[in-house]
Amino acid sequence: MNRILTTLILIIASLHAMAARHSYSINESWKFYQGEHSGAQQSEFDDSTWEFISIPHTWNDQDALDDTPGFYRGDGWYRRNIYIGPEAGEKQVYIYFEGSNQLTELWVNGNYVGEHIGGYTRFSFDITEFVNPDSFNQFAIRVNNSHNVDIPPLSADFTFFGGIYRDVLLTFTEKVHISVTDYASSGVYITTPAASPEKADIQIRTILENKTDGARHVKLQQTIISPTGEEVARKITSMNLRTGRHEHTEKKLTINNPVLWDTENPALYSVYTRVYDHSSNQLLDEIFNPLGIRWFEFHPDKGFFLNGKHTKLIGTNRHQCYLDQGNALNDQMHVRDIRLLKEMGGNFLRVSHYPQDPVIMEMCDRLGIITSVEIPVVNAITQSETFTQNSIEMAREMIRQDFNRPSVMIWAYMNEVMLRLPMERDTEEYYTYAESVAEFGRQLEKTIRQEDPSRYTMLAFHGNLDVYEDARLVELPMLVGWNLYQGWYGGQFSGFNDFIDNFHQKYPNIPMLISEYGADADPRLHSFESERFDFTGEYATLYHEHYLRAIMDRTFVAGANIWNLNDFHSEYRGDSMPHINNKGITTLDRKPKNSYLLYRAALRKDPVLMIGSKDWQVRGGIADENGRTFQPLKIYTNLDSVEVKVNSTSIGKKAVESHIAQFDIPFVDGMNTVEASAEHDGRIIRDIYHVDFRQVPANLRSTNHPFTELNVMLGSKRYYEDKLSASIWLPEQPYSEGSWGYTGGKPYQPRTRFGVLPASDVNIHGSSHDPLFQTQRIGLESFRADVPNGRYAIYMYWAELDSGFEHQTLAYNLGQDKMATEAAKRSFDVLINNKVVLGNFDIAGQIGAERAMIKKFEVNVQNHQGITISFNAHEGQPVLNAVRIYRMY
């Protein structure tokens, strides 16, 4: 073909393609300014000094993690000069935002277009009258993420990252088209009023717009394509459209012997809605929507049924943030999260606490993950008409935008709304507030049921039934979700069983699920004597083992969502990893924790065998007389028995119980290889774990195992892996001859109203290794290490933990209720081998409380005297948080 012909064909083809609608993203090359800026909306404004950024973008990816409390909440400006081609000439032009937090105003070529309220739903603007085709057009967008009493969420346990953090697109349509601005939905609403294995009735409501001045005669065509690509239904209606908006409902579509959508085989039909010019048959518009044929029911005793089949719903919640990115994730990263959930064997997602990126919903449709989606009313409401109206609008946006997703089965609208009461309980004001919450709930419930009678409604409550009864919320929704943390924030694991059993007994006619349960696990922390609130993975898996069993044992529990799929940002939090909530079963960068492995072994049908704690790369411990250190290790599997080899030698075979086989591994100094294997259908399934083990000799002076270093956390039963330096910190032990340890004193244990915590949970400023400073030994006499002669560096770690500071109310520490402490007063001398190296040492007095301080000393050890660190108290009691002894020569 000659070149001219090819070009001609291309032009004709592109003209043809340009008919109907087209759409593209406009994410790159924006200019950004953080702060207020007058005049920035004007076309001629000079933004040459502003920085270039790309959308998805947030301005809080750094400051929500630093040691300065709070993060920037205010204006951010985005500007870009966008070329719009001549093809836009006769078209309608729309801009479409997938999400921007939380108040967004738009100017095009200096003209004000409009604003959108709310940070988590999608929105669009008709900008036809403001843009000039075949030229550059100046877009200016002001986004504001300030606290706003009229916009939910008011407060919540996640960071409200500001910015245009999801894709932005331009959409071009003919003047006659399917609506783009009906709450930024597809303009098409598909329902299946009747569905059975024999037949499905499909109903399609379409919203059309005629933006021309006169009437247009069109044909509206609905076509349904089967999962295997055959056309199975088609209906055409002729319509005369006068200027403006029109609605049409097609009721006569049926599919015989439909392939059903379910969690194992999520069969998807495609619905194409097309508009043609009546006389020329020119295609004016085309919209795609997915269709899944399924029916479902939540039963108060028997649980959940999908297409008549009992299905236990097990999955997670999900927050939309990621390590170093804040909430600004591209599509691929969203896709990955739903893959992770499916990979685990999950079939359920609570899209919490807000509607998420459209690709999340697409993935759930495609992979067969049932979803509950909610608007971000969290913790409390504002008793105002504006707050109510904004919430109702958000509910409408949410429902219309994800209306056609087969995966969506639940709409939810308040999370723990009685948690952060703005007043004391049992006061007159409280009852007025409870009444406002009740009225607010009734309005939302009504709106949702009107918008979408085909789904369930749900409210998620925290573990205090009374307050929800006071606000008359228990019997309002069709489904109750419980967020329960017995055995984490307080109480014991068994409290979970008691709570749900009591609720079911009291309300036997209300279907329920567990909308949240979880425990924090900091991947750097470990313990073989794990306990509540120690932030170790070992404790978190015990928690999940218990909850999973309790949930599986009870048919009245329709399903459960682990809190959470991933660790996520929560700016005000302290804990072992400040600003992060570590209840994810994967880390902030989506590395699976042991709890993820547990579910994977329990839920998947194909053979699964995984060694736990593989991310624990540097271990440590004390050698026994044979040069070995025994430490427990869990293998997660759905097979019957497991054999383990350590450094090529079998240590035996064990039967698997509740998906776990636990072995005591004899580690030796240096690199170790642990291999676990099991047989399945004549095949060997195996997993391998390589680990660097740093042994400390039992007798520090032993010559066949020369001493190199010792890192100890005082007052601690935890191990801490410093992943930045690949080193390991050990729990404390009492001193014995030839070895090392403390003498005297007791571990620091913050008091709560219900008992004590194993470590402080305050943010330690000045270090990212918070756990090294969050435990300490109080009133100790000495720390001794009987090291051989040589030259040593000794690093002593301190932080004053009793600060007397008031911390933000730990609303989320549901029941933890840590008691305020008084500022400690202490001053002491520190001695190394009887020599004063620090006199009148007063940690808080010198650098302030809750701040990290490390002091490095060097000493010569001679005459087999070893190292003795001792203290002289002047005021209060001496303390030591951690100590590192390192042999230099």
Residues that bind ligand GCB (CB under 6 A): 156-157, 415-416, 462, 483, 516, 563, 581, 583, 812
Taking CB within 5 to 8 Å according to partner kind, which of ligand GCB, Ca ion, none is near residue 331?
Ca ion
CB closer to ligand GCB out of 262 and 520: 520
Contact 200/192 with Cβ under 8 angstroms? yes
Minimum CB separation of residue 371 from Ca ion in Å reads 17
CB closer to Ca ion out of 161 and 468: 161
| Secondary structure element (H or E) that encloses residue 341, with its range | helix 331-343
**Is the link from the previous residue into 138 a cis peptide, with omega within 30 of 0?**
no
Minimum CB separation of residue 469 from ligand GCB in Å reads 18
Minimum CB separation of residue 337 from ligand GCB in Å reads 17
Pairwise CA distance, residues 583 & 722, whole Å: 20
Minimum CB separation of residue 122 from Ca ion in Å reads 10
Pairwise CA distance, residues 475 & 300, whole Å: 13
CB closer to ligand GCB out of 773 and 812: 812
Helix (H, G, I), strand (E, B) or coil at 875: strand
CB closer to ligand GCB out of 155 and 237: 155
Taking CB within 5 to 8 Å according to partner kind, which of ligand GCB, Ca ion, none is near residue 418?
none
Match 């933006």 to its residue by tokens: 211
Q: Which stretch binds Ca ion (CB under 5 A): 160-168, 226-234, 709-717, 875-883?
A: 160-168
Minimum CB separation of residue 411 from ligand GCB in Å reads 17
CB closer to ligand GCB out of 512 and 639: 512
175: amino acid identity, one letter: K
Contact 83/343 with Cβ under 8 angstroms? no
Minimum CB separation of residue 307 from Ca ion in Å reads 30
Taking CB within 5 to 8 Å according to partner kind, which of Ca ion, ligand GCB, none is near residue 563?
ligand GCB
Query: At residue 331, what are phi and psi to the nearest 5 degrees?
Result: -55, -40
Taking CB within 5 to 8 Å according to partner kind, which of Ca ion, ligand GCB, none is near residue 183?
none
CB closer to ligand GCB out of 401 and 483: 483
| Secondary structure element (H or E) that encloses residue 165, with its range | none
Taking CB within 5 to 8 Å according to partner kind, which of Ca ion, ligand GCB, none is near residue 416?
ligand GCB
Which distant-in-sequence residues (6+ apart) come within 8 Å of 477 by Cβ?
412, 445, 456, 457, 458, 459
Closest CA to 461 of 515, 425, 509, 422: 515
CB closer to ligand GCB out of 157 and 470: 157
Residue 147 exposed, middle or buried by CB count within 10 Å (0-12, 13-18, 19+): exposed
Taking CB within 5 to 8 Å according to partner kind, which of ligand GCB, Ca ion, none is near residue 643?
none
CB closer to ligand GCB out of 482 and 667: 482
- Beta bridge partners, 247, equal 207
Minimum CB separation of residue 166 from Ca ion in Å reads 5
Minimum CB separation of residue 378 from ligand GCB in Å reads 7
Q: Which of 209, 331, 452, 669 binds Ca ion (CB under 5 A)?
A: 331
Q: Tell me how far CA of residue 570 lies from CA of 57, 70, 149, 154, in angstroms.
A: 18, 10, 20, 14
CB closer to ligand GCB out of 579 and 614: 579
Q: Tokens for 168?
A: 């932005």
- How many C-beta atoms lie closer than 10 Å to residue 526's C-beta? 25
Taking CB within 5 to 8 Å according to partner kind, which of ligand GCB, Ca ion, none is near residue 562?
none
Taking CB within 5 to 8 Å according to partner kind, which of ligand GCB, Ca ion, none is near residue 581?
ligand GCB
Question: Number of residues in contact with Ca ion, rule: CB under 5 A?
Answer: 5
Helices (H), ranges, 513-651: 537-553, 594-603
Taking CB within 5 to 8 Å according to partner kind, which of ligand GCB, Ca ion, none is near residue 516?
ligand GCB
Q: Tokens for 319?
A: 């927050």
DSSP single-letter state for residue 422? S
Closest CA to 242 of 219, 277, 211: 211
Minimum CB separation of residue 395 from ligand GCB in Å reads 19
Minimum CB separation of residue 569 from Ca ion in Å reads 19
CB closer to Ca ion out of 167 and 575: 167
Taking CB within 5 to 8 Å according to partner kind, which of Ca ion, ligand GCB, none is near residue 167?
Ca ion
CB closer to Ca ion out of 144 and 327: 327
Strand order, beta sheet including 782-785 = 740-743, 782-785, 867-875, 827-832, 835-841
* Separation of CA 340 from chain center: 13
CB closer to ligand GCB out of 500 and 861: 500
CB closer to ligand GCB out of 121 and 581: 581
CB closer to ligand GCB out of 462 and 851: 462
Minimum CB separation of residue 754 from ligand GCB in Å reads 16
Contact 659/600 with Cβ under 8 angstroms? no
Q: Per CB under 5 A, does 687 bind Ca ion?
A: no
Q: Per CB under 5 A, does 167 bind Ca ion?
A: yes
Taking CB within 5 to 8 Å according to partner kind, which of Ca ion, ligand GCB, none is near residue 583?
ligand GCB
* Separation of CA 238 from chain center: 48
Minimum CB separation of residue 167 from Ca ion in Å reads 4
Minimum CB separation of residue 99 from ligand GCB in Å reads 19
Q: Per CB under 5 A, does 337 bind Ca ion?
A: no
CB closer to ligand GCB out of 560 and 785: 560
Minimum CB separation of residue 16 from ligand GCB in Å reads 50
CB closer to ligand GCB out of 354 and 740: 354
Taking CB within 5 to 8 Å according to partner kind, which of Ca ion, ligand GCB, none is near residue 157?
ligand GCB
Query: At residue 319, what are phi and psi to the nearest 5 degrees?
Result: -105, 155
Q: Which stretch binds Ca ion (CB under 5 A): 352-360, 366-374, 514-522, 865-873?
A: 352-360
DSSP single-letter state for residue 734? B
Site for Ca ion in 25-44 (CB under 5 A): none
Residue 666 exposed, middle or buried by CB count within 10 Å (0-12, 13-18, 19+): middle
Taking CB within 5 to 8 Å according to partner kind, which of ligand GCB, Ca ion, none is near residue 396?
none
Exposure string for 342-366, b = 16+ CB within 10 A, e = fewer: bebbbbbbbbbbbbbbbbbbbbbbb
Residue 223 exposed, middle or buried by CB count within 10 Å (0-12, 13-18, 19+): middle
The residue nearest ligand GCB at its CB is: 157
Q: Per CB under 5 A, does 357 bind Ca ion?
A: yes
Minimum CB separation of residue 125 from Ca ion in Å reads 18
Contact 318/352 with Cβ under 8 angstroms? yes
| Secondary structure element (H or E) that encloses residue 233, with its range | strand 231-241
Taking CB within 5 to 8 Å according to partner kind, which of ligand GCB, Ca ion, none is near residue 357?
Ca ion
Site for Ca ion in 83-112 (CB under 5 A): 98
Minimum CB separation of residue 375 from ligand GCB in Å reads 14
Taking CB within 5 to 8 Å according to partner kind, which of ligand GCB, Ca ion, none is near residue 462?
ligand GCB
Contact 801/853 with Cβ under 8 angstroms? no
Write down the number of H helices and E strands in the chain.
11, 56
Match 């049908």 to its residue by tokens: 605
Minimum CB separation of residue 582 from ligand GCB in Å reads 9
CB closer to ligand GCB out of 325 and 581: 581
DSSP one-letter string for 169-220:
EEEEE-SEEE-S-STTS-SEEEEEEEE-SSEEEEEEEEEEEE-SSS-EEEEE
Return residues touching Ca ion (CB under 5 A): 98, 166-167, 331, 357
